[in-house]
Amino acid sequence: MEQMQTEQTLVCRNLTKSYLRGRPVLQNLNITLRPGRVVGLLGPNGCGKSTLLKLVSGILVPDSGEIFICGEPQSEATNRFVSYLPERTYFDGHMVVAELMDYFGDFYEDFDRERAETMLQDLGVDRAARLSTLSKGTKEKVQLVLVMSRRARLYLLDEPIGGVDPAARDYILRTIIGQYDKNATVLITTHLIHDVEPALDEFAFMANGGRILLSGNAEAVRSERGKSLDELFREVFSCLPN
């Protein structure tokens, strides 16, 4: 059992989380992620996708349950394995892009500055620009570049392409997500399933309460059911009256 935990990038056992005076967002959630996979965590709004990512990254504290990252119980120490991109802009607006690279370089041993510089150049982001002067989309690009420039074991990407233009979206999916370290695991939550689908190896459909309704290999769904993940998602979570 212990060895199995070490081999997996992420193991969540009986994870429960509720916010103040609310019903549980996640209830006894169990999920295991293997190395070298790009996994799409898909579900309707409020089903607990972001909460799960926050719990894994240590932003939130679970009510009960266990989280193991690369065999170690989740703690500040496991943050060295995890590269987390929240769904909001979270950098100090007074900082310059180059300063942010210094910051990442100082605190994350696995930060690849050269890689970050190349990506910023490709995306047309000025290294000398102050973050507060950039548009929301450009800020998101900077965040994504910095997060993906780490040689992490687990990437947690919460809506990574939600705010960027379609051209940058293609670049991000092809260059950034497509060229991640093959021993790493990428967990993506998004509503833009159609865009992300080609990059996904596996998927998990999450329903309210954090229940995993359906999970499996993305390619198998397409070949066996003759449907794209986007179509399957619409079918499973259909809001239309029958």
Partner 1 sequence: MLTKLMRYDFRAVLKLWWIPAVTLLALSPLTGLFIYLVSFADTNAVATLTLTIIMILLLLLYILTFAAHIILTLFFCHRRFYCHFFTDEGYLTFTLPVRRRTLLLSKTLVTFIMTVATVLVCAASLALLAVSSGYGSDVAHWIGNQMRSFLGDDGFAVNATVIIILLLLFLLWLCSTQFLIQFAITLGAVIAKKHKILAAIGLYYLASNVLGLLMTLFMEFTTVFTAVAAVRFSDMSTARFDVISMLLMFMDILFLAMLDTILYLLTLSSIERRLNLA
**Could you say whether residue 19 binds partner 1 (CB under 8 A)?**
yes
**Could you say whether residue 77 binds partner 1 (CB under 8 A)?**
yes
User: Closer CB to partner 1, residue 22 or residue 226?
Assistant: 22
73 vs 10, 11, 62, CA distance in Å? 10, 9, 13
**Could you say whether residue 18 binds partner 1 (CB under 8 A)?**
no
Q: What whole-number distance in Å separates Cα of residue 10 and Cα of residue 154? A: 8
Q: Residue 39 in contact with residue 185, Cβ under 8 Å?
A: yes
Q: How far is the CB of 109 from partner 1 (least distance, A)?
A: 8
Q: What whole-number distance in Å separates Cα of residue 65 and Cα of residue 79? A: 19
Q: How many residues bind partner 1 (CB under 8 A)?
A: 25
Give the helix/strand (H/E) hosting 154: strand 154-158
**Could you say whether residue 128 binds partner 1 (CB under 8 A)?**
no
List the structure tokens of 193. Answer: 């399933």
**Could you say whether residue 213 binds partner 1 (CB under 8 A)?**
no
Q: How far is the CB of 175 from partner 1 (least distance, A)?
A: 23
Give the helix/strand (H/E) hosting 212: strand 211-217
Q: How far is the CB of 53 from partner 1 (least distance, A)?
A: 11
Q: What whole-number distance in Å separates Cα of residue 217 and Cα of residue 34? A: 12
What is the length of the chain? Answer: 242
Residue type, 153: R
User: Closer CB to partner 1, residue 90 or residue 219?
Assistant: 90
| Residues of span 30-59 touching partner 1 by CB under 8 A | 54, 57-59
Q: What whole-number distance in Å separates Cα of residue 193 and Cα of residue 231? A: 9
Q: What whole-number distance in Å separates Cα of residue 14 and Cα of residue 28? A: 4
x/- contact string, 78-117, with partner 1 (CB under 8 A)? -xx-x-x-x-xxxxx-x--------x--xxx---------
**Could you say whether residue 136 binds partner 1 (CB under 8 A)?**
no
User: Closer CB to partner 1, residue 79 or residue 228?
Assistant: 79
Q: Name 195's Cβ contacts closer than 8 Å, sequence gap at least 6.
A: 161, 169, 173
Q: How far is the CB of 92 from partner 1 (least distance, A)?
A: 6
- Per CB under 8 A, residues contacting partner 1 are 19-20, 54, 57-61, 76-77, 79-80, 82, 84, 86, 88-92, 94, 103, 106-108
